DNA sequence: CTACATGCAAACAGTTTGCCATCGC
DNA sequence: GCGATGGCAAACTGTTTGCATGTAG
């Protein structure tokens, strides 16, 4: 059966190749915010004939078509999520890397007010909370840098909302 | 005379080499949020004997010592600013790239409340507004559709300030 | 049939690092 | 003098691209 994203592609007149269909499917199934490598991993499981370059190209195309949204949660890799619901923000669990979405109209109003006070119109904004589940007091949880893609799981990341680029072994 | 940052370095027992002193000085003078290349450019003006690798190492060291804070405004490069005033956020002018700082206790309270409602304690948060000066209605940006958090440079003050170094992608 | 998509590997930008000469303390 | 530091170039990571081949429409 045809996924929602596949339908969008057709509507926009995109040539539907096998690999685009696979990426579209993977994205439709994703409930999380995968990065390109993860998408590539999931796509490969459905079709060996796909290269990571194609995933990059497809993801970029989809973004240009407004089908996908690119997120940058720090950590150096772009994460993607299908454009769907209205504006929402993300709370990243610093222990598990899981991402929780939330919205908040009041916050939005506040931001517009602040910008207005400075003489600006808000074009877009970025808001991310990094938090720890209550009760999980700073316990030195095994900092398992579990790289291997746990399907369904957003990757762990450092707090501070900073880049942490490069392999700091 | 000794800058505030140089003093901090000494307090922390860091070996004060010539190049560290230069970087410290450049940072103390910076009123903006320069990236490493810009720091390197400014530092080079004061001392030819400095390599970009040293700037990277110094900036990392200072960050670990809590003297500097790394920011990621998108665009792929890390930006730095001396740790000084209390928590504040940034509004980036999408036309000029200039960064304006602001604070807002109310917003902070709100964020803690939201996290709390979800069962989390806020460890840190990232908030950036991308805005356009009121009245500057959507001018046709030469660069085709790219997301707000764009390149440009903040308060170019150095002579060699031509930030645009080359077409990305 | 033809313009566009893909695979592969090489190119890139930003950042880090190995090695050895050098310098602060 | 000794161990930390700096210079240089090579290594790395995430992402893009040139080129030849394959394929949707």
The answer to whether B29 and B49 have CB atoms below 8 angstroms apart is no
Q: Report how far apart, in Å, the C-alpha atoms of B120 and of each of A31, A131, B139 are.
A: 21, 6, 41
At residue A16, φ and ψ (nearest 5 deg) are -90, 95
Question: What is the spatial distance between Cα A32 and Cα A155, in angstroms, rounded to a whole number?
Answer: 10
Q: What is the CA radius of gyration of chain B?
A: 18
> Which residue among B74, B120, B145 places its CB closest to the CB of A132?
B120
Provide the whole-model pTM: 0.77
Of the candidates A61, A32, A29, A33, the residue with the CA atom closest to the CA atom of residue A43: A29
pLDDT in tens, chain B (169 residues): 788 999 999 999 999 999 999 999 999 998 889 999 999 999 999 998 899 999 999 999 999 999 999 998 878 899 999 998 778 899 998 888 789 999 888 888 889 999 999 999 998 889 999 999 987 765 544 433 334 444 444 544 333 322 333 233 3
The string of pLDDT tens digits covering residues A45-97 is 998 889 999 999 999 999 999 999 999 887 889 999 999 877 889 998 888 77
Instruction: Report the nucleotide nearest the CA of residue B9, measured to C1'.
Output: C24
Nucleic strand C interface residues, CB < 7 Å = A 14-15, 17, 19-20, 49-51, 53-54, 57-58, 163, 165-169; B 15-18, 35-37, 52-53, 56-57, 60, 76-78, 165-166, 168
The answer to whether B99 and B90 have CB atoms below 8 angstroms apart is yes
At residue B158, φ and ψ (nearest 5 deg) are -75, 155
Residue in chain B lying closest to A163 (CA): B72
The string of pLDDT tens digits covering residues A2-48 is 889 999 999 999 999 999 999 999 999 988 899 999 999 999 999 88
> Which residue among A91, A122, A132 places its CB closest to the CB of B129?
A122
Identify, with chain letter, the residue nearest to nucleotide D23 (CA–C1').
A17
Question: What is the spatial distance between Cα B94 and Cα B145, in angstroms, rounded to a whole number?
Answer: 12
Using an 8 Å CB-CB cutoff, list chain A residues near B94: 123
Question: What is the spatial distance between Cα B78 and Cα B55, in angstroms, rounded to a whole number?
Answer: 13
Distance from CA of B1 to the nearest CA of A (A): 33
């Amino acid at each position: 059966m045809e996924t929602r994203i596949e339908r969008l592609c057709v509507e926009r007149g995109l040539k539907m190749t096998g690999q685009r269909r696979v990426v579209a499917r993977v994205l439709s199934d994703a409930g999380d915010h995968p990065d390109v490598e993860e998408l590539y991993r999931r796509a490969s499981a459905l079709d060996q004939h796909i290269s990571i370059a194609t995933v990059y190209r497809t993801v970029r195309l989809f973004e240009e078509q407004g089908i996908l949204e690119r997120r940058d949660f720090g950590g150096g890799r772009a994460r993607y999520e299908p454009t769907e619901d209205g504006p929402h923000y993300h709370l990243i669990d610093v222990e598990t890397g899981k991402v929780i979405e939330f919205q908040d109209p009041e916050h939005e109003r506040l931001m517009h007010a602040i910008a207005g006070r400075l003489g600006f119109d808000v074009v877009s904004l970025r808001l991310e909370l990094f938090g720890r589940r209550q009760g999980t007091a700073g316990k030195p949880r095994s900092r398992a840098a579990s790289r291997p893609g746990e399907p369904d799981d957003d990757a762990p990341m450092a707090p501070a909302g900073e880049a942490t680029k490069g392999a700091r072994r």
